[in-house]
Structures are given as C-alpha cells and as structure tokens.
C-alpha cells in the first residue's frame, strides 16, 4: 500500500475523467477519443494502467480503439469511457458514461446514483454483499437492472483485478473491506428489457502478458520483450505496439503469443439482450469511518 502514489494516480484519473465527461466527442473517431484521453493522462505525469476503454451502447466493457479505428461517435450513442492511471504500479480506475441520446440519460443517472450510494456505505469492515445490495436497490428504484456478472475488484500494485469482487447485486459469499487494500466499485446498469448480464463477444482488442516463456519465433519473442518492458503485466492495446512495430508483423507476432498462451486476449462484453449499458466507477481505500475515494 502506497497512499501517496494511490492519491496522485487518483487525482490525475479524476481530472482526466472530467475532461472526458465534458468534451463533445460527437464526430470524433474512437481512435481519436482513446488517444486523446491517454495523452491527457501522460501529460499529467501518469502512466496508463490499461488502454482507455471506449465502449458504445450495448458493449458494456473492454472495447478499445484498433490502430486508426475509423468508427465515429454519433449523436445517438451512449459511450462509456473507462480509464486507468498508475503511479509506480498503484492504480486509479475510474469511468464515466456520456449519453448523447436523451433517452439513455436515465441509465447514466442510475449508474451514478448507485455508485454514490455505494460510496456512502463503504468503510473498514463493510461486507461486499452489502455493497451489492445497495447498488441493486438503487438501480431498481429507477426500474432498471444492474449487470450481475460484472463487478468491482480489489487492486494491488501492477494488478488491476487482484482477486476480490465487489458485486453489483446481492450475492452469496462475502468479504469485509480492509483499510490495507484499494478497491474499485463499478455499477453497470441496463434497461428493464435487458437480461442483466453480459456475454463475451468476438472482438478482442485488449491484451495482457501472462508468461515470460520463449517461443521458437524470434519476432514473437521480441514483441514479448517489448510488452514486458513497456507494460509489465498490465493490459495493452495493439495501437500501443504499432507505434514501434509494423502493424502486419505485430498482428502476426501477437497471434503467435496468444497461441502459445504467453499473451491473453480479453473479449468485449456485450449485454446479452443487446440493450444499452451505462457504467460509473471510483477507486477507494476504506478508512475506519468511511473511505478515501481517490478518484472523487
Ligand atoms: Mn475501470
Ligand atoms: Mn475496474
């Protein structure tokens, strides 16, 4: 636990999230959106803990722009911008949803309200199941549904999902919050027509190194070294690699690393009935009387 670095990362993350919230992204490509948000993180002295997620509409999470991704944000879209900042591996994970379509604005409002309600009850000893219950109750007051199979998580140095889950609805099995750990809380909300859970999609554009073993392919080994040196075991995007490697060669090497289980690919997560999803997220460290919300 390094409170100073957690606090620094949180301050940068919250400043950049507010820029993301207030900027008019309509007409911009997903590539421009992700690259702009990431450059705001770096210009403040932070490092990206993972590629900025720019997930549209029914995609709940885990979409980041492809190299030169041409997809343009329209005035009918709902976008979730999820960003991570780290200082020496200590991570701030935060997200904002922006609905340019007035009809989906209620989803954003409910996600924000659920996050606020959850932040109101967290302190040392709070049971994770209580957080889930609070989120679910708040979302249901809007006649909407939480996404049951997405959850918040404990954080450790250089590890975003450190093993413990903070549920978005009441669930069996629980742990108590500790002042020695940082956590992310992230309610996801969908419409009453949604199934309230996500399924993995075909698209995979976020990756992470899981092993340092060598392959017989020199290009693949060179790429694995580059990933280790630049991103450690944190998630990365292809567009972070194509700044230093030829795209065609990088794609082939990445395939080789995935095939050899040296790199893991994370699929996008889609609402199971194709309904729109909104998300809000904060990182916090419990105290005896409440919590230090690092990304407030
Ligand atoms: Mn996040
Ligand atoms: Mn998170």
In SS3 terms, 124-160 reads as: CCCEHHHHHHHHHHHHHHCCCEECCCCCEEEEECCEC
Q: Which fold has domain 206-269?
A: Arc Repressor Mutant, subunit A (1.10.10)
Which two structure tokens, joined as six digits, stand for 64? 């980041």
Report in angstroms the alpha-carbon separations of 192 from 3, 107, 274: 40, 10, 12
Catalytic residue among 153, 256, 271, 282: 153
- Active site annotation includes 282: no
- Active site annotation includes 246: no
- Active site annotation includes 281: yes
In tens, the pLDDT along 280-296 reads: 999 999 999 999 999 99
In tens, the pLDDT along 208-255 reads: 999 999 999 999 999 999 999 999 999 999 999 999 999 999 999 999
In tens, the pLDDT along 156-187 reads: 999 999 999 999 999 888 999 999 999 999 99
Q: Which fold has domain 3-200+270-293?
A: Creatine Amidinohydrolase (3.90.230)
Can you tell me the distance from the alpha carbon of 296 to that of 279, in angstroms, rounded to the nearest whole number? Answer: 15
Catalytic residue among 186, 256, 271, 282: 186
Distance 50 CA to ligand 2 centre (A): 10
The structure's pTM equals 0.97
Which two structure tokens, joined as six digits, stand for 107? 């989803």
Predicted local distance difference test score (pLDDT) of residue 99: 97
User: CA 260, 261, 264, 267 torsion: positive or negative?
Assistant: positive
Would the pLDDT of 1 be above 90?
no
What residue spans define the domains of the chain? 3-200+270-293, 206-269
Q: Are 9 and 2 in contact (CB under 8 A)?
A: no
The ligand that comes nearest to the alpha carbon of residue 162 is 2
Catalytic residue among 130, 156, 161, 181: 161
Predicted local distance difference test score (pLDDT) of residue 58: 98
- Active site annotation includes 161: yes
């Amino acid at each position: 636990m390094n409170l100073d670095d957690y606090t620094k990362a949180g301050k940068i993350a919250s400043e950049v999230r507010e820029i993301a919230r207030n900027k008019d992204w309509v007409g911009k490509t997903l590539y421009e959106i992700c690259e702009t948000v990431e450059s705001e993180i770096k210009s403040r002295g932070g490092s990206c803990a993972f590629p900025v997620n720019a997930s549209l509409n029914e995609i709940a999470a885990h979409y980041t722009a492809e190299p030169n991704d041409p997809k343009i944000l329209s005035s009918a879209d709902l976008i979730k911008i999820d960003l991570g900042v780290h200082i020496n591996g200590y991570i701030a994970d935060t997200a904002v949803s922006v609905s340019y379509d007035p009809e989906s604005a209620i989803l954003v409002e409910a996600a924000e309200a659920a996050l606020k309600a959850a932040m109101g009850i967290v302190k040392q000893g709070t049971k994770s199941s209580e957080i889930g219950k609070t989120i679910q109750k708040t979302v249901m007051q809007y006649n909407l549904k939480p996404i049951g199979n997405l959850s918040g998580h404990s954080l450790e140095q250089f590890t975003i999902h450190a093993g413990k889950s903070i549920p978005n609805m009441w669930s069996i099995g629980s742990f108590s919050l500790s002042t020695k750990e940082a956590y992310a809380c992230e309610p996801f909300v969908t419409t009453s027509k949604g199934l309230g859970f996500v399924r993995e999609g075909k698209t995979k554009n976020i990756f992470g190194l899981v092993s340092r073993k060598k392959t017989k392919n020199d290009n693949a080994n060179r790429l694995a070294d580059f990933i280790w040196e630049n991103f450690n075991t944190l998630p990365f995007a292809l567009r972070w690699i194509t700044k230093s490697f030829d795209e065609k060669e990088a794609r082939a090497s990445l395939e080789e690393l995935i095939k050899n289980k040296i790199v893991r690919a994370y699929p996008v997560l889609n609402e199971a009935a194709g309904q729109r999803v909104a998300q809000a997220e904060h990182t916090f460290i419990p105290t005896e009387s409440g919590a230090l919300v690092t990304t407030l």
